[in-house]
């Protein structure tokens, strides 16, 4: 009798904790969006920021965020996917493979601020890039790499061996098998992984403060990679802790809501088209 | 999982001309080397980070003795670079965040894997994934606008300090610990649970005496991952901790941790100065702590495999 009562109490407690966790998450989301969404307007999204007056926008920061993200993916995807392919398809069980695995795992655990200081030391100072979009993008790509390696390896391993055997039996070389069979089959998983990486890179701030800087170029969309490139996340931190504008709180809240919206959209993007791609790629084409 | 396919070196194809075969084989070999090259490149990065950040940081010891660096007196204007406060602060804040987050995360993981009905699981899983993806500055802003005023009212201070930092970190690491623990509990062999029920145990007894002990290595991995995330988090903590280089006496006292001190001082520290070098040394300490956490996870995982 006693143990049955305890069991019922425990079940109640578990429900309470589960609902409590959901409630915290829901409150968090509601808090950010309800505070920030009213501040978002077309003007806010496109206008340049102000130094001293209120009413500044976040146009250049929005542009820089996606520009730096695109560059960092451009730098990291070839290496990350290449290393993932090697680990999944070529690597034999030996010391070198163990070392690559350990190094990737270690790289994944590096705190982002350490990446930031590394970028400051190597790209900004030693290679004389200064606080620039290119310095930020290069450092950010180091953060992307370990996740890309892991995702590529996992998705390729999930492809059944019969695919490889069939392709090799038709006389294809290993590279042809990878390019024409394995990568297309693994594409949905890769896209999901890259979207995850993109979301993380978009919200990163500790790295970019020390590499892309906390100011924006005088020109609105500045494609010059040597220009300084403050991003949305950095701007949010900067206006709230060092900014002089009187409407810092509103700008910060609007930026936060925008960042959360982008993360929400990316999560939806992960869920939807990967299923569509799966059907298309695994079915008839290529 | 080793693939039992050998590379066909002798892939002559009767119908294709030899030049085509040669080109094919050359492309194959070149890509092999490119893949090895990327793997080697990725592995090289972590060692160059240790080397560069480490060598810049170790320059501190030209001006500051080792003992001084680990002392508690941080007054750069008087050439006192004691980072002990920040190292202690990092562990205090991280420990407090773990105390707040781990019970919830483990109970939540059990709930999600064993008790929750399917529809509830379908809500909880994407929700936790979403929260891993929210940028840390957003967590910082929420901490600043909600926790700081509340703590301020409770303690009668400005509200910046250890408690709001630990609260915000606890919310940040909760999803990480939860999802790793949930994975560990869900992948336990079903026979364990069945045997326990067959002996007449209730669900609570099964969870407490069988499932949680069996999943401990996995849960521990989640806790260590959360700890790594908490100790390396910079921006969210910097916004709420108050940034005073003092040891906190109470939960509402402002203090500083390794990451926040770097954020606060680095942009104004002239490159090559003792101040800048000591900040690099602090980031080396941070890096070594994170790397040793990875080693601990490896040891835990090995024990799990046995």
- Mind listing the pLDDT tens digit for each residue in B156-193? 777 888 889 999 999 999 999 999 999 999 999 989 99
Query: Chain B, 59-98: which have a CB under 8 Å from a chain A CB?
Result: none
pLDDT band at A279 (very low <50, low <70, confident <90, very high): low
Least confident residue range of A119-133, B34-48, B154-168: B154-168
Mean pLDDT within A117-123: 93
Q: Which residues of B68-98 are buried (b: 16+ CB within 10 A; e: fewer)?
A: bbebeebeeeeeebbbbbbbbbbebbbebbb
At B253, list the tokens: 């006292």
pLDDT at B7: 47
Shortest Cα–Cα distance, B141 to chain A (Å): 8
Whether B305 shows a pLDDT value over 60: the answer reads no
pLDDT band at B247 (very low <50, low <70, confident <90, very high): confident
Check CB contact of B167 with chain A, cutoff 8 Å. no
The DSSP secondary structure of B90-152, one letter per residue, reads HHHHHHHHHHHHHHHHHHHHHIIIIIS-HHHHHHHHHHHHHHHHS-HHHHHHHIIIIIHHHHH
Provide the CATH number for the domain formed by A11-282 in this structure.
Answer: 1.10.3720.10
The span from the CA of B7 to the CA of A146, in Å, is 28
Whether A285 shows a pLDDT value over 50: the answer reads no
pLDDT at A167: 92
CB count within 10 Å of CB A85 equals 27
Contact A145 B13 (CB under 8 A): no
Q: Are residues B148 and B42 in the same domain?
A: no
- What's the complex ipTM? 0.88
**What mean pLDDT is reported for chain B?**
86
Least confident residue range of A50-54, A170-174, B113-117, B167-171: A50-54
Q: At what angle do helices A248-282 and A232-241 cross, to 10 degrees?
A: 160
Task: Tell me which residue has tokens 């006496």.
Answer: B249
Contact B133 A168 (CB under 8 A): no
Residue-range definition of the domain harbouring residue B28: 18-62
Distance of CA A78 to the CA centre of its chain: 16
Cβ-based burial of A170 (10 A; exposed 0-12, middle 13-18, buried ≥19): exposed
CB count within 10 Å of CB A128 equals 9
Whether A283 shows a pLDDT value over 80: the answer reads no
Q: Are residues B41 and B97 in the same domain?
A: no
Nearest to A114 among B40, B48, B287 (CB): B287
Backbone angles phi, psi at B80, to 5 degrees: -110, 115
Q: How many domains would you assign to chain B?
A: 2
| Residue at B103 is within a domain | yes
Shortest Cα–Cα distance, B22 to chain A (Å): 11
At B218, list the tokens: 């996995």
Shortest Cα–Cα distance, B65 to chain A (Å): 23
CATH for B173? 1.10.3720.10
- Mind listing the pLDDT tens digit for each residue in A211-233? 988 887 777 777 887 888 888 99
| Residue at B7 is within a domain | no
Contacts of residue A110 in chain B, CB cutoff 8 Å?
46, 49, 232, 287, 290
Asked if residue B203 lies in contact with residue A11, where contact means CB atoms within 8 angstroms, the answer is: yes
Nearest Cα residue in chain A from B11: A171
Q: Are residues B29 and B156 in the same domain?
A: no
Whether A284 shows a pLDDT value over 50: the answer reads no
pLDDT at A277: 59
Task: Tell me which residue has tokens 């509200």.
Answer: B159
| Residue at B70 is within a domain | no
Percent of chain B surpassing pLDDT 70: 93
pTM for this prediction: 0.89
Q: Are residues B119 and B219 in the same domain?
A: yes
Contacts of residue A253 in chain B, CB cutoff 8 Å?
141, 145
- H/E element holding A17? helix A2-36
| Residue at B252 is within a domain | yes
Asked if residue A205 lies in contact with residue A64, where contact means CB atoms within 8 angstroms, the answer is: no
pLDDT band at A280 (very low <50, low <70, confident <90, very high): low
| Residue at B10 is within a domain | no
**What mean pLDDT is reported for chain A?**
87
Least confident residue range of A178-187, B64-73, B132-141: B64-73
- Mind listing the pLDDT tens digit for each residue in A1-27? 588 888 888 889 999 999 999 998 889
Contacts of residue B136 in chain A, CB cutoff 8 Å?
203, 205-206
Q: Are residues B39 and B163 in the same domain?
A: no
Check CB contact of B263 with chain A, cutoff 8 Å. yes
Check CB contact of B28 with chain A, cutoff 8 Å. yes
Check CB contact of B131 with chain A, cutoff 8 Å. yes
């Amino acid at each position: 009798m006693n143990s049955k009562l305890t069991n019922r109490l425990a079940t109640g407690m578990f429900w309470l904790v589960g609902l409590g966790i959901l409630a915290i998450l829901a409150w968090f989301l509601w808090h950010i969006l309800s505070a920030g969404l009213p501040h978002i307007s077309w003007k806010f999204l496109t206008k340049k920021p102000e130094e001293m007056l209120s009413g500044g926008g976040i146009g250049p920061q929005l542009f820089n965020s996606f520009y730096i993200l695109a560059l960092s993916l451009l730098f990291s995807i070839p290496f990350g996917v290449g290393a993932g392919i090697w680990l999944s398809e070529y690597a034999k069980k030996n010391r070198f493979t163990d070392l690559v695995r350990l190094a990737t795992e270690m790289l994944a655990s590096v705190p982002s601020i350490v990446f930031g200081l590394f970028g400051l030391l190597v790209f900004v100072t030693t290679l004389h890039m200064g606080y620039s979009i290119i310095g930020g993008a290069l450092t950010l790509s180091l953060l992307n790499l370990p996740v890309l390696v892991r995702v590529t390896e996992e998705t390729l391993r999930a492809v059944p061996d019969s695919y490889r055997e069939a392709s090799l039996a038709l006389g294809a070389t290993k590279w042809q098998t990878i390019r024409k069979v394995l990568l297309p089959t693994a594409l949905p998983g890769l896209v999901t992984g890259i979207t995850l990486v993109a979301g993380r890179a978009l919200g990163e701030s500790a790295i970019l403060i020390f590499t892309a800087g906390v100011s924006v170029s005088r020109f609105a969309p500045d494609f010059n990679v040597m220009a300084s490139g403050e991003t949305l996340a950095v701007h949010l931190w900067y206006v709230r802790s060092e900014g002089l504008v009187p409407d810092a709180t509103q700008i910060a809240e609007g930026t936060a809501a925008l960042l959360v919206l982008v993360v929400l959209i990316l999560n939806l993007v992960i869920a939807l088209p990967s299923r569509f791609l799966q059907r298309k790629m695994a079915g008839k084409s290529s | 999982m080793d693939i039992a396919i050998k590379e066909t070196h002798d892939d002559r194809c009767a119908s294709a001309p030899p030049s085509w075969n040669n080109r094919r084989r050359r492309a194959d070999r070149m890509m092999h080397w490119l893949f090895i090259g990327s793997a080697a490149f990725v592995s090289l990065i972590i060692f160059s980070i240790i080397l560069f950040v480490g060598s810049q940081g170790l320059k501190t010891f030209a001006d500051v003795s080792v003992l001084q660096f680990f002392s508690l007196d941080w007054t750069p204007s008087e050439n006192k670079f004691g980072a002990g406060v920040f190292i202690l602060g990092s562990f205090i804040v991280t420990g407090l965040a773990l105390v707040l987050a781990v019970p919830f995360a483990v109970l939540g993981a059990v709930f999600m894997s064993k008790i929750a009905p399917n529809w509830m699981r379908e809500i909880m899983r994407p929700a936790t994934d979403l929260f891993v993806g929210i940028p840390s500055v957003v967590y910082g802003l929420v901490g600043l606008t909600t926790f700081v005023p509340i703590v301020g009212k409770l303690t009668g201070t400005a509200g910046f300090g250890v408690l709001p930092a630990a609260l915000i970190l606890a919310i940040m690491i909760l999803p990480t610990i939860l999802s790793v623990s949930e994975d560990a509990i869900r992948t336990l062999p079903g026979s364990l649970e069945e045997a326990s029920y067959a002996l007449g145990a209730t669900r609570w007894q099964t969870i407490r005496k069988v499932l949680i002990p069996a999943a401990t290595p996995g849960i521990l991995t989640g806790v260590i991952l959360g700890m790594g995330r908490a100790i390396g988090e910079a921006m969210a903590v910097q916004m709420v901790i108050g940034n005073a280089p003092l040891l906190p006496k109470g939960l509402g006292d402002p203090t500083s941790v390794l990451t926040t001190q770097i954020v606060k001082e680095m942009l104004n520290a002239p490159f090559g100065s003792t101040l800048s070098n000591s900040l690099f040394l602090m980031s080396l300490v941070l890096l070594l702590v994170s790397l040793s956490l990875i080693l601990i996870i490896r040891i835990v995982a090995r024990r799990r495999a046995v």
